Structure 1
Amino acid sequence: MAYDKQLVAGKLRRWEKYLNRFRLPQWEDIPDFGLYMEQVIVLLKKYLDYLPPELKEEQIITAAAINNYVRTKVMPGPNKKKYYRIHIAYLIIICSLKQNLSLAMLQKIIPMGINEDEVKEIYESFAKRHNLAAQYFVEQVRLAAASILDHDEKSELDAKDPNDMITFAAVISCFSRLLAEKLLLLDGKTIENGGSIEIVE
Structure 2
Amino acid sequence: MADFNQYTRWETQMHGVKLPRWDDLPKFDLYMDQVTALVNEVLGPLGVDTITPAMINNYVKHKVILAPVKKKYQTMQLTDILMISLLKPMFQTDTVRTGIDQITAGDYPKQAYDNFIGSLEDRLHHLGEDQVQPAAKNLNEKLMQVAVDAVVARLQSEKLLTMIKRPLRKVEKTK
Q: Structure 1 length as normaliser, TM-score? A: 0.58
Shift of 1:136: 4.4
Q: Which has the higher contact order (CA 8 A, sep 6+)?
A: 2
Percent sequence identity is 31
Specify the code of the residue in structure 2 equivalent to 1:49.
G
What root-mean-square deviation, in Å, do the aligned CA atoms of Structure 1 and Structure 2 show? Answer: 2.5
The ranges of structure 1 where at least 4 consecutive aligned residues each deviate by more than 6 angstroms after the TM superposition are: none
Flag the structure with larger Rg: 1
Aligned AA (2:71): K
Distance 2:34 2:86 in 1: 18
Cα separation, 1, equivalents of 2:81 and 2:123? 19
C-alpha distance in 2 between matches for 1:96 and 1:89:
11
Q: Which amino acid aligns with 2:86?
A: S
Q: Match for residue 63 of structure 2?
A: 73
2:28 maps to a residue whose letter is F
CA distance, structure 1, for counterparts of residue 88 and residue 157 of structure 2: 18
Question: How many angstroms does 1:59 deviate by?
Answer: 4.4
The verdict on how the C-alpha distance between 1:138 and 1:72 changes in structure 2, with shifts beyond 3 A counting, is farther
In structure 1, what is the Cα distance between the partners aligned to 2:34 and 2:90?
A: 26
Cα deviation, 1:5-53, whole Å, max 9, x if unaligned, reads 31x134213311211010210111101211111111110111112245x
| Residue in structure 1 matching 2:78, options 88, 91, 103 | 88
Alignment coverage as a number of residue pairs? 131
Query: Of the candidates 11, 14, 19, which is equivalent to residue 19 of structure 1?
Result: 14
Equivalent in the alignment of 1:64: 54
TM-score by length of 2: 0.66
Q: Residues of 2 paired with 1:127 and 1:45: CA distance? A: 16
Deviations 1:130-152 (A, max 9, x none): 11222344326xxxxxxxxxxxx
1:1-201 alignment to 2 at 5 Å?
5-6=1-2, 8-52=3-47, 59-111=49-101, 118-139=108-129, 169=157
